[in-house]
Structure 1
Amino acid sequence: MEENTITVPADKTPNLIGVIVTWRAITHQGLTRSQNEDAHWVTHVIEGKTDTESSSRYIFAVADGLGGHRGGAIASRMALKAVKEEFHAWHGGRADNVVSRAIQKANQNIFCVAQTDPELFQKMQTTLTVVVLENDSLTLGHIGDCRLYRMRDNHIDQLTRDHTMASDMLQMHMISSKQASTHPGRHQLTRSVGGDPFLNADINRQQVRQGDTYLLCSDGLWSELTDEEIRSALEETDVSRGCEKLVRLALSGGAPDNITGIMFHIDVLGQQAANPFSWKSLLGKK
């Protein structure tokens, strides 16, 4: 996790504007794959606006390289490199714009490299889901079949739509939800980063609430779990315990794919007076 240090005048107490979360990320190779083609990134940035005001921003990202192909591991890491570069250069402006640019940059970089190597061509692809928490909003950019779940008021919602053949057929009312859950096209991607020169990403923005808990994960995790198992983990008051529970359950089910999960809980939202001596703990909080 990256940390930015803020110098606080001795006679002033800063106001923290934004969001503070508790989070835990776990990635695992799984029990059958020879390498981990998943990649993830979490960063927390605190930017000083004035001597008495600072803003807090979190970024979470997961990329799942196209399974079983040498190019998949390269693609997932290239995607996150492009995301990092775009966000490191971001010093204001709409979050949805920077998320869109990051995904498009990742797609162009991966697609261009894939054209130079016939062995990687059409195999050098990845999914990519990016979440930005800033002030009281969550900005989501999504391609593929990683998922973002939200637990709010004891109700779970899936905030992403899988870009798979089964999901597309469900959207067109060609199959039922029950059929989609076991359809052979459940993991057959219809959109991916690096697969085509032009990409249509899902970008949306939502309000967050204090007390919300989220799970961002690759399909290697959610496909091995029941809805009730995901609910049980998101109900945990300790995100580390909840995330560990999810990974443990997936491994006990055989874990044929790589596994990556990031759980985060909204602890503080809006503007809060912060003790000057608490900045270090806030920056390093997990």
Structure 2
Amino acid sequence: MTENSIVQSPGRKPNLIGVIVKWRVITHQGLMRSQNEDAHWVGHSIEVKTETESASRYIFAVADGLGGHRGGAIASRTALKSVKAEFYKWHGGAADGMIGQAMQKANQKVFCVAQSDPELFRKMQTTLTVVALDQDSLTVGHIGDCRLYRLRDDCIKILTRDHTMSNDLLQMHLISAEQASTHPGRHQLTRSIGSELFMNADIIREKVRPEDTYLLCSDGLWSELTEEEILNAMQQNDVSSACEKLVRVALSAGAPDNITAIAFHIETVGNCTAPAFSWRTFFRMS
């Protein structure tokens, strides 16, 4: 048995343990940036457990880099290298540990690169949000102001919390939600990857359900859209249409910043009989 195909034994069909997901990624440098400092990665693994059972796992990650010169792009891509390395060593379970390790290593590497040449990489840092799917569980590691939205039963919810000055003031009840939406510190990060040697990430866990749709995006997307516009786009018939509409509306609004959007839809949760064709037909490439 290989990752690309399933060989069926006579009278027996392999069972897939986990989730079947459809997804789409779109990234754009925006209308006022000379380069794209956002970075993204989607990983999918099939691990053979027994002759008739395989486990399916996914990981989705977005990093939004910032810093002088080319530092932002280096920061975001350096962070994702750590995510990839930890995902490839992961054999399921304890997703929070895998994500926490990936984010700590990402932080140390970005910090060390910034210290290696302070003049070139001054203030180099990045946001990082990582989403892992294993069986029926979704685990999120989050630092910065990328966001994870969930659409369930036609209701939209933001699962992450922005680590920004305005949102911190809002959490302390020092400003109102209306004031936070226009506050000058709306995009001023209070937590990030690479700003200090040690960092504290949020870890979020929840159970997924069939027909859930999620949106993982950088602030270049969500800051240009209302919650109603995001809801309307995510209610499209498929994730490709949803992702395209989100980016199209953001660009129409001006989109001065880099944009990255990953939309993914939960098709099936739990055990299911796997058909005799490529696993790769279960998901879409960007």
TM range (shorter): over 0.9
**Matched residue, 2:41:** 41
Residue 110 of structure 2 aligns with an amino acid whose one-letter code is: I
Letter in 2 for 1:164: T
* Residue identity opposite 1:43 in structure 2: G
User: 2:7 aligns to what?
Assistant: 8
The residue that corresponds to 2:71 in the other structure is: 71
Give the equivalent residue in structure 2 for 1:30: 30
List runs of 5+ in structure 2 lacking aligned partners. Answer: none
Match of 1:197 in 2: 197
Deviations 1:121-150 (A, max 9, x none): 542100000000111110000000000000
Q: Deviations over 1:194-234 (max 9, x none)?
A: 00001000012111111101000000000000111100011
- CA 1:92–1:227 in structure 2 vs 1: closer, same or farther (change >3 Å)? closer
Match of 1:149 in 2: 149
Corresponding residue number in structure 1 for 2:160: 160
Distance 2:246 2:280 in 1: 30
Equivalent AA in structure 1 for residue 189 of structure 2: L
Unaligned runs of 5+ residues in structure 1 are none
1:64 partner letter: D
What residue in structure 2 maps to residue 185 of structure 1? 185
Distance, in Å, in 1 between the alignment partners of 2:56 and 2:200 is: 29
What is the rounded CA distance, in whole Å, between the counterparts of 1:105 and 1:131 in structure 2? 16
2:261 corresponds to 1:261? yes
Q: What amino acid is the match of 1:201? A: A
Report the secondary structure of 2:66's partner residue: coil
Cα shift at 1:4:
2.6
8 Å contact 2:211–2:265 — kept in the other structure? yes
Q: Give aligned pairs, total.
A: 284
- Residues of 1 paired with 2:275 and 2:172: CA distance? 54
Q: How does 1:66-215 map to 2 (within 5 A)?
A: 66=66, 69-215=69-215
CA distance in 1: counterparts of 2:228 and 2:7, whole angstroms? 46
84-93 vs 47-56, greater mean Cα deviation: 84-93
Q: Which moved more, 1:111-120 or 1:230-239?
A: 111-120
Q: What whole-Å deviation, never above 9, does each CA across 1:52-107 have from its counterpart, x for those lacking one?
A: 00111111000000166421110000000111011112224411100000000000
Question: What is the distance in 2 between the residues matched to 1:186 and 1:284?
Answer: 34
AA aligned to 2:90 is W
Aligned amino acid, residue 61 of structure 1: A
Counterpart contact for 2:146–2:217, Cα < 8 Å: yes
Give the letter for the 1:126 counterpart. T
Q: Tell me how far apart the structure 1 counterparts of residues 74 and 66 of structure 2 sit (CA, whole Å).
A: 10
Give the CA deviation at 1:13.
0.6
Alignment of 1:206-225 (within 5 A): 206-225=206-225
Query: 1:69·1:124 contact (CA, 8 Å) conserved in 2?
Result: no
**Distance verdict in 2 for CA 1:153–1:68, change over 3 Å:** farther
Deviates further, 201-210 or 187-196: 201-210
Sort the Cα spacing of 1:278 and 1:121 in 2 relative to 1 into closer, same or farther, 3 A: closer
Q: Which amino acid aligns with 1:39?
A: A
Q: How does 1:220-231 map to 2 (within 5 A)?
A: 220-231=220-231
Cα offset, 1:192, TM superposition: 0.5
CA distance change for structure 1 residues 247 and 84 in 2, over 3 Å: closer, same or farther? Answer: same
What is the letter of the counterpart of residue 132 of structure 2? V
**TM-score (norm. length: structure 1):** 0.95
| C-alpha displacement of 1:8 | 2.5
Distance 1:149 1:284 in 2: 20
Tell me, yes or no, if the aligned pair for 1:122 and 1:195 is still in contact at 8 Å: no
Secondary structure of 2:133 counterpart: strand
- Asked whether the equivalents of residues 22 and 265 of structure 1 are also in contact (C-alpha less than 8 Å), the reply is yes
Q: Percent identity?
A: 69
Question: CA–CA distance in 1 between the matches of 2:164 and 2:284?
Answer: 38
Partner of 1:233: 233
SS in 1 for 2:277: helix
Q: Distance in 2 between the 1:236 and 1:213 partners?
A: 10
Contact preservation (8 Å) 2:19, 2:270: yes
**Of 87-96 and 226-235, the range deviating more from structure 2:** 87-96
